[in-house]
Structure 1
Amino acid sequence: MTSIPGARPNRSARRLAVGLTALALAATAACGGSGGDDEEEAGGAATLATDNPEPTGEPQEGGSITVALEGESNGWLPGTSAAAAPGYNVLYSIYDPLIMQTAEGTYEPYLAESIEPNEDFTSWTMKLREGVTFHDGSPLTAEVIAQNLAILKEPTSNVAGALAEVTGATAVDPLTVRYDLAAPNAAFPALLTTTPGMPFSMENYNALGKDGANAEPVGTGPFVFEEWRRDDQLTVTANESYWGSDLGLGPYLDEITFRPIPDEDSRLQSLLSGDVDAFQTLRQSVIRQAQEEAADGGMALHTFLGNNAGNSIFNTLVPPLDDPRVRQALTHAVDQEQLIEVLGGTGISPPQTQFFSEESPYYSEAVAEAYPDYDPEKAEQLLQEYIDDPQRSDGLPVGSPIAIEYNCQPDPSLVELSQAYQAFWSNVGVDVSLNAVDQASHIQNAIGSPATDPPFKGDFTANCWRSGSQNDPYIVLRNEFGPVAKQPLNFTNYTSDVIDEQLQVLATTQDLETRKEAVEKIGLDLAENVPQLWTGATATLIGTRPELQNVSGWELPSGAEGIGTGLFTGGTALWGQTWLADAE
């Protein structure tokens, strides 16, 4: 990765239509690569068959909008915030990531100016942009990055596991920082696209402490935090001193109010009634409703379908789900197509069998064939083996029935999904109790506490969930299956020698074919041991009033087209680069 020029041609002259971006993404995935570096990093995303409207006219300044999000987050400080897709809409407004992903799946500097590895990928040297300041006026320096890293690596940080291999960050000079790694990581820049790469003000942190900075965040981003009323709304205003303004990166809007509205139908109706200007959803049935409502032109739809997918995660450290026979049985017991139908995703959400969609170069047909199919008789056989085993892990007498708890959010469509799981599993003799849990608690329960044995064991048995993203396979799979005591993002607590060996391969090469083979071996291990039960690929949507422009298209400082609403897990926008056509 080389240095990026600080200036570029006129923004609108280089903007690609979002529809063309979708074709480019699909072509990149289908071709698989001619051996170039660009294709080696390709994320393989594809859009839904719905028009993603391109901007009309030049950007306009001014105006305020309200964005309805799927749920609330526990705060906004990197390493402390347990934000999912809805929360990242806020985070990318307040903070800038050091690195961002392009539409082609490659990684380029964003807040950083350049980043370069040494020969064996054990050290990465990053240059920062000159003159960047945080919202409180303090400068962004290499020393701040080093201090941020020390906080992010603390045992209580929820990104400590993702940063475990980073031994430290050294300020070489005021604007140059060197990350030193204990082991090679050819995909290290991809790690800096989310919270591990979002610099935060040390002055604010030192003044308010961790809890205070989590509630009153200070970043370098296009918007400045103003107020947060938990479970009600969070307000940000335009950063008048934004470093990216001269590069055409915004901000154009004066103010954004983010409102958590957990009920899916209420969120859609809030847009239709004019109470909000945009809403975000990952619920398939709501996407279908939105498509119907948008037919008269009263709503613009920005959609994305990539690697993220719905599933259920099993806590493999908790009996009886610590036994692979039980996990296999629960997977054989459910009909994916029926679960997708319950969520309203038929025709929108294809069945999933692995972390990568069919459009991804990392998709494996062998893994798809190995994944447990719908076979209730096989499920009953496996369960009976466990029930009759004198060494069964739950310690109950031979012949005792199996009981599990299943947690999910209280949204009506997810209640129906939970009930469908309950019916399928009850049909093969499993006693299933259902618990409704709000989103913030749902995430925190999955992460668990550093005080448990082992740390971050999680406080659940089985959860409805989503997994996968457009990020590099090494980053995705290492986070999902890293050491339990060190990786809070390993929600299933599943590890294996096969995965550890193949992660090492992914860490030490950028050769696409070698990496694909490693991903396939990991996928085959997961298909056999099923720490996750997949349902369907998660189509995502940001619906807006038509006047709100450039929601699914944005640029990096180089002028390269960004990954659009496929950012993070989907349903996330860079609101700093959006504008209102009727701002005047």
Structure 2
Amino acid sequence: MRYRTTRLRRTRAATRVGAVLAALVLTTSACGGGSDDGGGAADVEVGQNPEPQGSPQEGGSITVALEGETNGWLPGVSRAASAGFNVLYALYDPLVMQTGEGNYEPYLAESVEPNEDFTAWTVTLRDGVTFHDGSDLTADVIARNVALLKQPTSTLTGTLAELSGVDVIDPLTVRYNLTRPNAAFPAILSSTPGMPFSMQNVDELGQDGANANPVGTGPFVFDSWSRDDRLTVVANESYWGSDLDLGPYLDEIVFRPIPDEDTRLLTMQAGDIDAFQTLRGSTVGRAQDIAEDGELAMHTFVGNNAGTSILNVLVPPLDDVRVRQALAHAANQEQLIEVLGGTGLTPRQTQFFSEDSPFYSDNVAEAYPTYDPDRATELLQDYIDDPQRSDGKPVGSPVSLTYACQPDPSLSELAQAYQAFWNTVGFEVELEAVEQAAHISNAIGTPASVPPFAGDYVANCWRSSGGGDPYNVLKTEFGPVEQQPQNFTNYTSDVITEQLRVLATTTDLEARQEAVEKIGLDLAENVPILWTASTVSLFGVDPAVQNVSTWQLPGGSQGVGLGLNQGGVTMWGQVWLAE
């Protein structure tokens, strides 16, 4: 056991649409977001993050404000978004992690090897790793983990649909057997499906109890959780990664969910927290003003994570492609970006992969519906006049829908902007505010849904990510509804099924790019997802907080930084406080 010093946390003292949007943009701009005229978000150099100063120091406590609460912390039960993954990566170690170059390398695993046709992957575990409760990490534990993760009620059922089972080869070796080839299977093991958890803890507390009292192998040990207030973790003094310079360096981290953007930033300015997370362009712009005074260090990332709206294609009237296309043509993306304070900071998004990704397609960008209110009105009227319209209403009846979003001021402004655009072309749109945990649960649905997990929503503001390998991303997003609870839109097609087969069976880059493009063109035509813009992930921290975006893997490779998982997530075990 290492000797640790104790140090207290540091503190520091024209049309109806046009009229609505003008008011919304004025409100956002007044808060310091998104203008191009000297200051604000447009001046942020995304990715130009502070290098750590000095060598790692042990000791101290920090408080981190996250954008929302999570329903719990056990893989397969937890429905975490980016906020929750900050906690999960502190408590658990994934078997595999992504490098800054986009490759996947062993982390908690010693090695990961495929067979010739990618239908089986053999994972060798590190020897001597223990869970926080003292129980050993073994191949048997992995096999029992997988059995729970594949239960029908698991949030990971879809992700692991092609996994037929796990064979225990010896005490430290398991073989994952797949029903079909998956050349990108290691990427799955970099998130919750690859985060081993203590079966001793599950046996004692049950899954619900373990969800509230998690036990992993990670750099921090769960201490306490007061839901919607704070979760505290303390250093794992017996951490296997300490000798590999993987931390932990801090004594304690307190994670606080603060959903309101203004409150989160003001709490940081008041010195009550040491770091805060945001994925809102307007808040990034305001944080830049503070950073210019030297009171804040900014760690930013823009990647394949983007703001979207998901449409439930199993629910009338969104089961009709004319209605979805009308919604897409009615929305002016550039003005929506302006409402969010992202002008000059984030580009318009049209697909799962950003322009710097090898899987970005100019053809998909050109095919995605452009702002055309006349075309939107025409498509909507065609549906309204159809005697076979799917909502069962009489010909000529208006089309109504509910658009749900979290009760964050910037998202409320976004929802109002969408409502204004859609109402103008003839929709009747009702807005609904839903807290983040319920928002995610509603999108996933319940086993009682018909079909199961069809989602309890019509249209949701959302965040979609192309992070990771495109096969795993697109399979999860658009695989068979009955197998993929995270196919939130419930959309799939023959084109997608065929191109997913290509992605699963080859590592040839050109063939995979062509497959991704075909899927993107299908989505651009059928629009189960409406795109807004790339999401800027920011951690604003006290300048004393070091190494937020430069963590490493056991073999010495640089990690993917704040691009971890969906973006806006870091490895807090490798963060320290400067002297």
The reply to whether TM is greater than 0.5 is yes
Structure 1 residue runs of 4+, over 6 Å off? none
How many pairs were matched up? 536
Hey, what does 2:98 align to over in structure 1?
101
CA distance in 2, matches of 1:154, 1:258: 30
Q: Given residue 474 of structure 2, which amino acid in structure 1 is its aligned partner? A: L
Write the distance in 1 (CA, Å) between the matches of 2:298 and 2:116: 44
Counterpart AA for 2:397: S
- In structure 1, distance between residues paired with 2:267 and 2:110: 40
Q: CA deviation at 1:469?
A: 3.4
Q: Please report how far the alpha carbon of residue 209 of structure 1 lies from its aligned counterpart in structure 2 after TM superposition.
A: 0.3
1:113-192 correspondence runs (5 A):
113-192=110-189
Counterpart for residue 296 of structure 2: 299
Which of 310, 314, 317 aligns to 1:317? It is 314
Structure 1, unmatched stretches of 5+, are 1-46
Maintained 8 Å contact 1:160/1:487: yes
- Within the candidate set 393, 396, 401, 2:398 is matched to 401
Amino acid at match of 2:522: D
**CA shift for structure 1 position 573:** 0.8
| Cross-structure match for 1:284 | 281
How far, CA to CA, are the matches of 1:443 and 1:49 in structure 2?
28
1:549 maps to amino acid: Q
CA separation in 1, counterparts of 2:423 and 2:416? 10
Deviation at 1:421, TM superposition (A): 0.5
Number of the residue aligned with 1:450: 447
Determine whether 1:199 maps to 2:216: no
Q: Who is 2:27 aligned against? A: none
Question: Can you list the C-alpha shifts for 1:410-461, whole angstroms capped at 9, x where unaligned?
Answer: 1111111110001000000000000000000000000000121100110100
Query: In the alignment, what sits opposite 1:435?
Result: 432
Cα separation, 2, equivalents of 1:170 and 1:356: 35
Deviation track 1:151-174 (CA, whole Å, cap 9, x = no partner) reads 000000011111010000111000
| Local SS of the residue matching 1:483 | coil
Contact 1:455/1:486 (<8 A) preserved:
no
Task: Supply the distance in 2 between the matched residues of 1:564 and 1:518 (Cα, whole angstroms).
Answer: 28
Q: Note if contact 2:109-2:123 (Cα within 8 Å) is conserved in structure 1.
A: yes
The residue type paired with residue 435 of structure 2 is D
How far 1:50 moved relative to its partner?
A: 5.7
- In the TM superposition, what is the alpha-carbon distance from 1:371 to its structure 2 partner? 0.3
Structure 1 residue 48: Cα displacement: 4.5
Counterpart in 2 of 1:518? 515
Write the distance in 1 (CA, Å) between the matches of 2:552 and 2:54. 16
- Tell me, in whole angstroms, the C-alpha distance in 2 between the residues paired with 1:451 and 1:420: 34
**1:30 maps to which residue?**
none
Give the drift of 1:527.
0.2
SS in 2 for 1:475: helix
The 8 Å contact of residues 46 and 301 in structure 2, kept in 1 or not, is answered as no
Q: Determine if the alignment matches structure 1 residue 375 to structure 2 residue 376.
A: no
* SS in structure 2 of the partner of residue 470 of structure 1: coil
Find the residue that maps to 2:167 and give its secondary structure. strand
Supply the distance in 1 between the matched residues of 2:146 and 2:45 (Cα, whole angstroms): 38
Q: Does 1:238 align with 2:232?
A: no
Give the match's secondary structure for 1:464: strand
Once residues 557 and 46 of structure 2 are traced to their aligned partners in structure 1, the CA distance between those partners, rounded to angstroms, is 24
1:469 aligns with 2:466: yes
**Which residue of 280, 305, 308 maps to 1:308?**
305
- 2:63 paired residue among 66, 73, 89: 66
**Structure-2 residue corresponding to 1:218:** 215
* AA in 1 matched with 2:168: A
Distance 1:109 1:386 in 2: 52
Q: Which amino acid in 2 is paired with 1:236?
A: V
Q: RMSD of aligned C-alpha atoms?
A: 0.8
Give the whole-Å Cα distance in 2 for the aligned partners of 1:537 and 1:51. Answer: 17
Q: Which amino acid aligns with 1:193?
A: S
Which of the residues 412, 415, 431 maps onto 1:415?
A: 412
What is the alpha-carbon distance in structure 1 between the residues aligned to residue 206 and residue 279 of structure 2? 34
The verdict on how the C-alpha distance between 1:544 and 1:576 changes in structure 2, with shifts beyond 3 A counting, is same
2:330 to 312, 333, 353: 333
What code does the residue aligned with 1:547 have?
Answer: A
Structure 2, unmatched stretches of 5+, are: 1-43
1:579 is matched with 576
Per-residue CA deviation, residues 446-483 of structure 1 (Å, 9 max, x unaligned), is 00001211001101000000101321000110110011
Tell me the residue number matched to 1:494: 491
Aligned residue number for residue 248 of structure 1: 245
Normalising by structure 1, what TM-score? 0.91
Q: In structure 2, how many angstroms separate the alpha carbons of the residues matched to 1:82 and 1:375? A: 36
8 Å CA contact retained: 1:549, 1:578: yes
The aligned counterpart of 1:43 is none
Match of 2:264 in 1: 267
C-alpha separation in 1, matches of 2:492 and 2:470: 16
Q: Percent identity?
A: 70
What residue identity is the alignment partner of 1:546?
P
SS in 2 for 1:564: coil
Q: In the alignment, is the contact (CA less than 8 A) between 1:321 and 1:327 conserved in 2?
A: yes
Alpha carbons 1:469, 1:568 under 8 Å: kept: no
CA shift at 1:315, angstroms? 0.3
Residue 365 of structure 1 is matched in structure 2 by 362
With over 3 angstroms needed to count, the CA separation of the structure-2 counterparts of 1:58 and 1:292, relative to structure 1, is same
Between the aligned partners of 1:425 and 1:308, the Cα distance in structure 2 is 25
CA distance in 1, matches of 2:355, 2:432: 33
CA distance in 2, matches of 1:368, 1:555: 34
Q: 1:406 and 1:48 mapped to 2: Cα distance?
A: 33
Q: What amino acid sits opposite 2:423 in the alignment?
A: S
* Matches of 1:49 and 1:309, distance apart in 2: 15
Q: Distance in 2 between matches of 1:401 and 1:292?
A: 46
Q: Is the 8 A contact 1:50 1:301 kept in 2?
A: no
SS of the aligned residue for 2:110 comes to: strand
SS of the aligned residue for 1:565 comes to coil
Aligned to 1:425: 422
Deviations 1:31-71 (A, max 9, x none): xxxxxxxxxxxxxxxx9536300111110000000000000
1:558 aligned onto 2:555: yes
By how many angstroms is 1:488 displaced? 1.0
Equivalent residue letter for 1:62: G
Residue aligning to 1:532: 529
- Work out the CA distance in 2 between the residues paired with 1:141 and 1:215: 23
- Structure 1 residues 363 and 48: CA distance shift in structure 2, 3 A: farther
| 1:214-236 superposed Cα distances (whole Å, 9 cap, x missing partner) | 00000000000000000000000
Structure 2 CA distance for aligned equivalents of residues 570 and 202 of structure 1: 29
C-alpha distance in 1 between matches for 2:54 and 2:290: 25
Q: 8 Å contact 1:48–1:539 — kept in the other structure? A: no
Shift of 1:272: 1.4
| Mapped partners of 1:57, 1:452: distance in 2 | 54
Match of 1:49 in 2: 46
1:85 corresponds to: 82
**Residue of structure 2 equivalent to 1:541:** 538
State the AA in 2 paired with 1:451.
Answer: A
* CA distance in 1: counterparts of 2:169 and 2:558, whole angstroms: 31
Cα distance in structure 1, aligned partners of 2:47 and 2:188: 30
Structure 2 counterpart of 1:296, which letter?
D
